[in-house]
Amino acid sequence: MATCSHYVYRGVHNMATYILVDTANTFFRARHVVRGDLDTKVGMALHITLNSVKKAWQDFNADHVVFCLEGRSWRKDEYEPYKRNRKETRDKMTPAQAEEDRVFFEIFDEFKDFVRTKTNCTVLQNPILEADDLIAGWVQSHPNDNHVIISTDGDFAQLVASNVRQYNGVSNTTITHEGYFDDKGQRVIDKKTGVEKPAPDPQWLLFEKCMRGDTSDNIFSAFPGVRKKGTKNKVGLLEAYDDMSTKGFNWNNMMLQRWTDHNGNEHRVIDDYNRNVLLCDLTAQPSNVREEINHTIHNETTEPKDLSQVGIRLLKFCNKWDMQRVAAAVEQYAPPFQARYPV
């Protein structure tokens, strides 16, 4: 089997388009879209998830759907504070919130079981990997194909390229290497500036995240308070970024700075930056983690599923959860779940 960089990929084949679903993100973000009782929120989560897959399938003329699931992240072993804030948030839940969370996870487990056992979709999960790792690994293991990532997570902007786009099923927005587009294919206007939102710069976005950290994942900044644009006497992120390839004065001026945290511990910017690269760069995992990514993808694609009557199975699932509109148009929703992995 041929290799590309450190990822394994298939040999010569016709170009395919894959829908890569950040499954937990898509399902759980949908619960915040609508106000109402628990049944309403659950119904919305299921509808947005299924509608996102259907729309991406149709709009991008896709060939196969890959659902990526979460494991306990290897990043917690590399960096103890990683996502520790998530547990703290759960611990502060009221009894009503905790019950809602329990019900959502219960139904999410049923949805995962459905796509894993009742459809021909590829389902990727590994005990030490996050969905982000698996999505990035799939993209790199299929370099000659097109990919549509369904997620609201801004971390995937670093993967956007000529053959990789991101679709936000909540806002109906698609991010490509050419810019941001709405569900009608029109360029999105930035509400702050009043002009078209520019195409993302993946390298800059990754650099900025590694420098500023990520509060949602509890990743601390490599240089707290750093300015985007420097002053006469102080280098900013933009100047350091422009100097990244040559590692000249501006780069070293910033990266060799030292600062002290509230516990009195001294930090060197370059050390914390490199730590954050390991945590944030979806192509910079340690070699043992990359092997797990390769192994997981290889295992799930060596013998693709070939189930029949997937449409009937989907109809039964919809009826169980009272998704009447989906059930009434099941012939439009079924194709993404029927399509086998192309070999």
Where does CATH 3.40.50.1010 sit in the chain?
15-200+285-338
CB 209 within 8 A of CB 203: no
15-200+285-338 topology per CATH: Rossmann fold (3.40.50)
Query: At residue 2, does pLDDT exceed 80?
Result: no
Long-range contacts for 318-326 (Cβ within 8 Å, ≥24 apart)? 321/42, 321/43, 321/46, 321/107, 322/43, 323/43, 323/46, 323/47, 323/50, 325/47, 326/47, 326/50
- pLDDT over 60 at 5, yes or no: no
For residue 1, the model assigns a pLDDT of 32
pLDDT for res 34: 76
Note the pLDDT of residue 13: 56
Residue 250 confidence (pLDDT):
96
Look at residue 32 in the predicted model and tell me its pLDDT.
Answer: 78
User: Which residue matches tokens 């002009």?
Assistant: 195
pTM across the whole model: 0.92
Res. 25: pLDDT tops 90: yes
Q: Is the pLDDT of residue 6 over 50?
A: no
Whole-number Å distance between alpha carbons of 283 and 265: 30
Q: What is the pLDDT of residues 96-155, one digit of tens each?
A: 889 999 999 999 999 999 999 999 999 999 999 999 999 999 999 999 999 999 999 999
Distance CA 265, CA 70 (A): 33
pLDDT digits (tens, 9 = 90+) for 266-292: 999 999 999 999 999 999 999 999 999
Lowest mean pLDDT among 84-98, 161-175, 320-334: 84-98
**CA-to-CA dists, residue 102 to 69, 89, 271, angstroms:** 18, 14, 39
Read off the pLDDT of residues 153-195 as tens digits, 9 standing for 90 and up: 999 999 999 999 999 998 999 999 999 999 999 999 998 899 9
Residues 6+ apart with CB under 8 A from 208: 228, 237, 241
Helix (H, G, I), strand (E, B) or coil at 268: strand
| 88 pLDDT more than 90 | no
Least confident of 9-23, 67-81, 266-280, 297-311: 9-23
Confidence of residue 317 (pLDDT cuts 50, 70, 90): very high
